[in-house]
Amino acid sequence: MIVSVDPGLTGGIANLSSEDGLWLEPMPRNENGIDAQELCRLVKEMRGAKAAYVESIYAVPSSGAHSMMVFGKTYGVVIGILTAFDIPIIEVRPQTWMKEIYHGCPESLVKKERSVWAFKKIFPGINANAPGKKSVHMGMLEAALIAEYGRRQ
């Protein structure tokens, strides 16, 4: 079992296992940002995972201080909860997983389109739509791609 996390507030969580296939969830949120209790409940179900691949974060100079603080807080909660459940954490830079997962992708596609292309190729027939929506949830979709990267490692 491989767990993966796209750690932003609009991120997602994936669980990829040979027995159960792919399971996806949006990052749980409440009025204060990340819903740490709900995230704990989700991660508790993943105890025994071989590893958790978490997209590493970095400062984006054009982002405001508040948004970077919220992102950092969310990342810290994710790392803390995974650590509390004794799931080994492997941080992976976006460029690293994308280089492997986007292999063969048409160069004309932009990042979002590349992720959708790769997801459809790797997980045909699996729905990565936001719960109750008709649109793709990019956080869940990219968490799935990070899980696939982890599986290949």
Mean pLDDT of 6-26: 91
The DSSP output letter for 104 is T
Q: In terms of residue numbers, what domain contains 48? A: 2-152
Check which CATH number belongs to the domain holding 20 and give it: 3.30.420.10
What pTM does this model have? 0.91
| Other residues' Cβ atoms within 10 Å of the Cβ of residue 72 | 13
Q: Look at the chain and report how many structural domains it folds into.
A: 1
Which three-class secondary structure state does DSSP give residue 40? helix
* Residue 128: HSE in the Cβ half-sphere, 13 Å Cα cutoff: 25
Q: Quote the pLDDT of residue 59.
A: 59
Mean pLDDT of 49-53: 93
**Confidence label for 38 from pLDDT (cuts 50, 70 and 90):** very high
Distance separating alpha carbons of residues 97 and 42, to the nearest angstrom: 24
